[in-house]
């Protein structure tokens, strides 16, 4: 399932130039309704009246999944991944306990790491498929689907 929406548009006017900008976010969901990716498409158009020229620039970027858990900003990207997954935790306090786990869908634990502010997770040796990223912060566990594909 794909959900597309334009979040904002900006129009700037001056005596000689008209500039417009629009950002469209596209959200991708699996069959169970879990969001696994978000991309943003930025389109900037510019009309210059002094030289009678028109230009258009488009860019696309994939944004990380971001969530706040117990005042800690959790983000991971890219998803889907070809093997390299980055997990970042902001506002992580030294007294915070927890761990990060990668498990197969059958519950088999494939990897356990302590929580760090930045973690590189190497999934290159794993077969293509869906895995679960479990982040435990103190006594709270949050689970996310990770898609590994070449």
* Residues 99 and 92: beta-carbon distance below 8 Å: no
State how far the Cα of 49 lies from the Cα of 68, in Å rounded to an integer: 46
- Which residues does the chain have with pLDDT short of 70? 1-23, 25, 30, 32, 34-63
State how far the Cα of 105 lies from the Cα of 48, in Å rounded to an integer: 55
Question: How far lies 30's CA from each of 25, 35, 76, in Å?
Answer: 17, 7, 17
Residues 144 and 70 occupy one common structural domain: yes
- Residue closest to 35 by CA, chosen among 69, 65, 77: 65
Tokens found for residue 95:
């007294």
What's the domain range around 32?
2-62
Tokens found for residue 131:
């895995």
Picking from 16, 39, 62, the residue at the C-terminal end of a domain is 62
Residues 83 and 115 occupy one common structural domain: yes
Residues 68 and 54 occupy one common structural domain: no
Give per-residue pLDDT as tens, 96-133: 888 999 999 999 999 999 988 888 999 999 999 999 99
Residues 54 and 71 occupy one common structural domain: no
Q: How many domains does the chain have?
A: 2
pTM of the model: 0.59
Residues 78 and 11 occupy one common structural domain: no
**Which CATH number characterizes residue 104's domain?**
2.60.40.10
């Amino acid at each position: 399932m794909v959900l597309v929406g334009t979040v904002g548009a900006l129009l700037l006017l001056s005596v000689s130039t008209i500039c417009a900008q629009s950002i469209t976010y596209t959200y991708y969901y699996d069959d169970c309704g879990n969001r696994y990716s978000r991309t943003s498409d930025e389109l900037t158009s510019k009309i210059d009246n002094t030289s009678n020229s028109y230009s258009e620039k488009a860019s696309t970027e994939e944004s990380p999944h971001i969530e706040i858990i117990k005042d800690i900003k959790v983000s991971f990207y890219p998803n889907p991944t070809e093997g390299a997954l980055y997990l970042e935790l902001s506002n992580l306090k030294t007294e915070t306990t927890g761990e990060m786990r990668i498990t197969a869908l059958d519950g088999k634990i494939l990897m356990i790491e302590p929580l760090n502010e930045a973690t590189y997770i190497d999934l290159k040796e794993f077969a293509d498929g869906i895995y679960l990223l479990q982040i435990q912060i103190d006594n709270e566990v949050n689970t996310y689907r990770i898609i590994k594909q070449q």
